Amino acid sequence: MAGTWDMLGTGGPVIVILALMSLLSLTVIAVKLIQLWPVRSGGQAREQALTQWKGGDRKQAQDSIADGKSPADRVMAYAMQALQEGLRGPLLQDELQRRGNEEVSRMNSLIRLLELIAMVSPLLGLLGTVLGMIQSFQELELAQGAANASVLAGGIWQALLTTAAGLLVAIPAAIAAGLFAARIDAAAQAIESAAGRLLLIDGSR
Q: What does the DSSP 8-state code read for residue 146?
A: G
What domain range is 124 assigned to?
A: 2-202
**Closest of 58, 39, 47 to residue 197, by C-alpha:** 47
Q: Answer yes or no: is pLDDT of 155 > 60.
A: yes
Give Cα separations from 10 to 4, 128, 156, 192 (angstroms): 10, 11, 12, 52
SS3 58: helix
The number of distinct structural domains making up the chain is 1
What value does the mean pLDDT of the chain take? 86
Query: Which is it for the CA torsion 125, 127, 131, 137, positive or negative?
Result: positive
Identify the band that residue 205 occupies on the pLDDT scale cut at 50, 70 and 90.
very low
- pLDDT of 153 > 80? The answer is no
Average pLDDT (182-193) is 94
Lowest mean pLDDT among 56-65, 69-78, 149-158: 149-158
Decide if pLDDT at 10 tops 90: no
Amino acid at 11: G
Q: How far is CA 44 from CA 103, 143, 185, in A?
A: 20, 73, 19
Q: Is the pTM of this model over 0.95?
A: no
187 vs 89: which has the higher pLDDT? 187
- At 43 the pLDDT is 86
- Percent of the chain at pLDDT > 70 equals 86
